């Protein structure tokens, strides 16, 4: 919704497309994604590679902070709809096979209900320059060794204290990606600084050791890709 997570990539010159149903009910509806959607609206990106897919799936039906409402949401279908949104995100990842993909959510039940692989990164905003706590997990294929900028969490767990309530505005405030995490994630995962990761993620069925040796022998990403295709 804010575009914060992808902003560093756009600043660095990547072509960034953002999808959020709040911003655009038609183009932002992830449940509408499919081959025809991307062909009709974007020409399937003219055959260009999609390098990264970053997904902050809505956490309302998953986060443990709302556990007292789980039974009602499970009964009326809201949980099933939220799980389908995660599955649709995973289908998009499977279709484009980006080098980097990530799904972010607060601690909760998204991993179990959506059948995600084990999470790769756990962090609090205070580890990345923001003085409060909100334990967050990230699943996917990416470099989890982010540069950190730890500060004292003097604001504690401020989210429900400052942004309580069920209105969309307060939900958005609680969900906003911090720029500390956004830039840390970019620094650890962009294609220039992490060239080996970029090609190893693209060809994730190959032994990354072989790709590392190819790079050590002077083969750049384009040459390595040509060898794989050959």
| pLDDT tens track for 15-35 | 999 999 999 998 999 999 999
- The DSSP secondary structure of 38-72, one letter per residue, reads HHHHHGGGGGPPP-EEEE----TTTBGGGGGGHHH
Query: Is pLDDT at 221 greater than 90 in this prediction?
Result: no
Q: What is the per-residue pLDDT across 76-132, written as a single tens digit (0 to 9) for each? A: 999 999 999 999 999 999 999 999 999 999 999 999 999 999 999 999 999 999 999
pLDDT for 119-156, tens place per residue? Answer: 999 999 999 999 999 999 999 999 999 999 999 999 98
Dist. CA 210–CA 79, nearest whole Å? 43
Structure tokens at 90: 């995973």
Q: Is the pLDDT of residue 163 over 60?
A: no
CB 146 within 8 A of CB 187: yes
- pLDDT level of residue 191 (50, 70, 90 thresholds): very high
Spatial separation of the C-alpha atoms in residues 146 and 143, rounded to whole Å: 7
Quote the pTM value: 0.88
Name every residue whose Cβ is closer than 8 Å to that of residue 110 and which is 6 or more positions away in sequence: 57, 59, 62, 86, 103, 116
N-to-C CA span, the chain: 41
The structure tokens 């974007």 sit at 42
More confident residue, 182 or 166: 182
Tell me the two tokens of residue 66.
Answer: 């709302």
H/E segment holding residue 214? helix 208-216
The pLDDT tens digits of the residues spanning 194-219 come to 988 999 998 888 888 988 898 889 98
Nearest CA to 115 out of 157, 75, 160, 62 is that of: 62
């Amino acid at each position: 919704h804010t575009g914060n997570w992808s902003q560093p990539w756009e600043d660095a010159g990547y072509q960034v497309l953002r999808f959020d149903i709040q911003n655009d009910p038609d183009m932002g509806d992830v449940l509408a994604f499919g081959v025809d959607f991307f062909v009709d609206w974007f020409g399937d990106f003219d055959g260009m590679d999609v390098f990264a897919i970053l997904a902050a799936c809505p956490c309302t039906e998953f986060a443990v902070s709302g556990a007292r409402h789980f039974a009602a949401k499970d009964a009326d279908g809201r949980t099933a709809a939220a799980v389908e949104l995660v599955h649709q995100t995973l289908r998009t990842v499977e279709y484009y096979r980006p080098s980097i993909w990530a799904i972010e959510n607060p601690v909760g039940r998204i991993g179990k209900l959506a059948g995600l692989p084990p999470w790769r990164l756990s962090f609090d905003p205070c580890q990345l320059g923001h003085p409060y706590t909100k334990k967050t997990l990230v699943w996917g294929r990416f470099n989890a060794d982010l540069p950190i900028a730890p500060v004292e969490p003097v604001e504690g767990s401020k989210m429900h204290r400052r942004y309580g309530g069920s209105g969309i505005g307060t939900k958005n405030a609680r969900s906003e990606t911090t720029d500390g995490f956004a830039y840390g994630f970019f620094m650890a995962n962009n294609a220039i600084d992490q060239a080996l990761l970029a090609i190893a993620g693209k060809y994730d069925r190959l032994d990354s050791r072989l790709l590392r040796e190819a790079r050590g022998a002077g083969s750049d990403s384009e040459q390595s890709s040509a060898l794989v295709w050959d």
